[in-house]
A = this chain, B = another copy of it.
Amino acid sequence: MKTRTIIIAAASMLLAAASCQQKEQKAPIGLITEPTPASTNVNGKEYPKINPDLSVVFQVNAPEAETVILDLGKQYPMAKNADGIWEVTSEPQVPGFHYYSLIVDGVKVADPSSQLFYGTGMMCSAIEIPEVGVDFYLPQDVPHGEIRMQRYWSDLTQSWRTCYVYVPAEYDQNPSKRYPVLYIYHGGGEDETGWAIQGKADNIMDNLIAGKEAVPMLLVMDRGEALVPNARMADGPRSMFNFSSVDMLASQELIPMIDSKYRTIADRDHRAITGLSMGGFIAWSVGLNHPELFAYIGGFSGSGMAQNPDAYPASLNDQYKLLFISTGSDESPQMHSTVTNFRDVLEKNGVKHIFYESMGTGHEWLNWRRCLKEFAPMLFKD
């Protein structure tokens, strides 16, 4: 199809020149053949620049600064050149989506050259390191669904909230058809924009649905946080694993709103819930608390509580059609064991489940994009 469009474009000399040239020079998807500005840079910015070995050159203009450090998980002191430009080249990076910051004279700030993403509790710089030959999360030449920003009033929190709703490409073409729904939560320090922006959930679902791997479904991306007066979910570690507020909001307000505004199949057999990291714990907590609402539960780099094995009896398999957990092979031992210890609990209790490990990825979005690609095709098929 692209070939055809290019032939058509060829009618215009100007375009023909440009696009054919592009065509010839086109490298395999994700292959870096020369130093290339990151796709996560602000429109038109040259740095950060990814080298063929996946090392990254960072630059910032800060003539008056005393010290500038790149914080990419590992810290790299930057060096100032004669023009006052600070620069450093990182070690080769693993493919994936990596948050980073600049530390200017001790102040952690965002890189003005980077697009910013709500992560780590602030608007944060990040760099996308492509993976050669991998395009499941990239826009492809397939029908495209939409992500819709849905505002709704919450009596529980006495506030307006916005959730993001993915609808498949066919949604508006089938005004009488109803669809199953996957509720999917972000991680700690992120918000409802995570799956839409960092997660590229719309591309992943467009591609899975076009390839007939997943059935057409809606995704609902709401904030995994709800400041319900006198409830305590949102005030930090002390209540990190108390999801009662999110549970109340999802079961009493979010799901009824979605079922009223969208053409959903409003029963448990056509509802799934998952999330990443903190969102995975939310999904398992809310999902197990509401068998009347959900038949499928997933958790990516976050799931149930290994410390509480009795809460996960084999009888869960009678209630739920799917129990899915996953982690990245390169996550920190502590993160990794959170999930593998829980897997051991499920196995010890004889709870049938799916365990997926994303090889070579850490606690980051490429990992979770792969998890969604694994999880979504298992939903709503019977």
Interface residues of A (CB under 8 A from B): 5-6, 8-9, 14-15, 17-19, 22, 42-44, 60-68, 102, 104-110, 112-116, 118, 121-123, 139, 141, 144, 146-153, 155-156, 158, 160, 172, 175, 191, 196, 202, 225, 228-231, 234, 261
Contacts and interface: CB of A to CB of B under 8 A. Distances in A.
The A contact surface, by secondary structure, is mixed
14 contacts: A14-B228, A15-B155, A17-B229, A18-B230, A43-B225, A62-B106, A64-B105, A64-B106, A104-B105, A105-B105, A107-B109, A109-B112, A146-B148, A148-B149
B152 A149 contact: no
A43 B230 contact: no
Given A14-B230, A110-B110, A123-B115, A65 B151 contact: no
Nearest to A14: B230
A68 B155 CA distance: 41
A325 B78 CA distance: 49
A8 B156 CA distance: 11
Contact of A155 (B19, B110, B156): B19
Contacts of A116: 110, 116, 123
Contacts of A147: 148-149
Contacts of A156: 15
Given A43-B121, A62-B105, 7 more contacts: A14-B228, A42-B121, A113-B122, A146-B148, A146-B150, A147-B149, A151-B202
A151 B143 CA distance: 10
Given A107-B62, A110-B109, A151 B155 contact: no
A139 B68 CA distance: 42
B202 A158 contact: no
B17 A230 contact: yes
A155 B139 CA distance: 14
A67 to B, nearest CB: 8
A155 to B, nearest CB: 5
B160 A151 contact: no
A14 to B, nearest CB: 5
Q: A43, A118, A196 — which one has the most chain B CB atoms within 10 A of its CB? A: A43
B139 A229 contact: no
A157 B117 CA distance: 25
B18 A158 contact: yes
A156 B12 CA distance: 10
Nearest to A64: B106
Contact of A191 (B43, B151, B158): B43
Nearest to A164: B149
Contact of A14 (B6, B202, B229): B229
Contacts of A60: 107
Nearest to A152: B144
Contacts of A17: 229-230
Nearest to A60: B107
Contacts of A14: 228-231
Contacts of A141: 153
Contacts of A144: 150-152
